[in-house]
A = this chain, B = another copy of it.
Amino acid sequence: MAGNSFGQLFRLTTFGESHGVAIGGVLDGCPAGVDLDIEKIQSELNRRKPGQSAIVTQRKEPDVVEIYSGVFEGKTTGTPIGFAIHNTNQKSKDYSHIKDSYRPSHADYVYDKKYGFRDYRGGGRSSARETASRVVAGAIAKQFLDNIKINAFVCQVGDMKLEKDYRDLDFSKIESNPVRCPDPEMAQNMEDYIKAIKKEGDTIGGVITCVVQNVPIGLGEPVFDKLHANLGKAMLSINAVKGFEYGSGFEGVKMKGSQHNDAYNPDGTTITNRSGGIQGGVSNGMDIYFNVAFKPVATVLQGYETINKEGEKVTAQGKGRHDPCVVPRAVPIVEAMTALVLADHVLLARSNKI
């Protein structure tokens, strides 16, 4: 099917372009009886919202979510939850310069080739604006998951890398700074660096770590729908993501098996956790943790050479209001997609035993 649905039982379908009438989605399969706090949904959206600090895009989008269905007297009813966020700040003129030419490392060129033409305004469907719908659904998933705790944070900006073990970090500090890095000193350095990058009209990449705690044992459906395989797909489906690793990740390849294996405690927990909370594709009750790599935003506010539809060389100038670094605003998106994957697997796991 066309690729705008995610999940099997707890299933989100999204719609919307950055400069159309509205974006939104349908969340189908959320069980009945979840106490739903609409303000919590809005506050997750606010974490993703443009204009929240000096180091993110200064667009002004209020991003107010309207819930159309599936909730009655404060509870989910088990029927699909339809929702929309109306677009209110569409400066379509800002994008007229890209109507006929292709921005490098954007989706302009491939969309034209794939579909024959495209809604060129602000990236259209390929804009990261689409992820606001994911945050809405993820905020509902979080409320369904309840006891499971999901915390994402920025661990790297450019080559500035937080080398601490996540167990030594205070997650309550994540929201205390605009970068969303729980280490105050590193956060300040990253913020300064992003500001400098912004001043150059340039952009920079980064890495987000996500930690999931209080995970029940048994989530994940081998052999293809392993829990980490679906987490990986979820993360890679976010705009600008170039890599995913969990547990020991790429570093783990350097280890010997005798060093890498996680020995058991009598209660079934493990002494180390290089497995990252997942063994054989199934959660083992330990913390799940993974890293997600984001490339630098492709829109730089500098002049560049490119081609137009006719294949002629043209020069262009990056305009508009864009993020110098995507990771601070991507933190709630990573959490949202994590919540969607876990909610889906909680429902899937209900059918494993008689």
Contacts and interface: CB of A to CB of B under 8 A. Distances in A.
Contact of A125 (B1, B17, B77, B299): B77
Interface in A301-354: 302, 304-307, 311-313, 347-354
A283 B3 CA distance: 15
B82 A255 contact: no
Contacts of A130: 223
Interface stretch (A26-34, A38-46, A52-60, A179-187): A26-34
Contacts of A220: 3, 110, 114
A260 interface: yes
B352 A111 contact: no
Contacts of A72: 17, 20, 117-119, 124
A292 B109 CA distance: 28
Identical copies in the complex? 4
A77 B119 CA distance: 7
Measured as residues with beta carbon below 8 angstroms from the partner, the interface class of chain A is 35 or more
Contacts of A203: 256-258
A190 to B, nearest CB: 12
A111 B304 CA distance: 54
A104 B240 CA distance: 36
Interface in A1-40: 1-9, 11, 13-17, 20-26, 28-29, 31-34
Given A3-B224, A82-B15, A254 B205 contact: yes
A-B pairs, top 10 by smallest CB distance, nearest first, are A107-B280, A3-B225, A3-B221, A15-B82, A243-B245, A205-B253, A203-B257, A2-B29, A32-B115, A233-B233
6 contacts: A3-B348, A32-B117, A109-B268, A158-B253, A243-B245, A263-B305
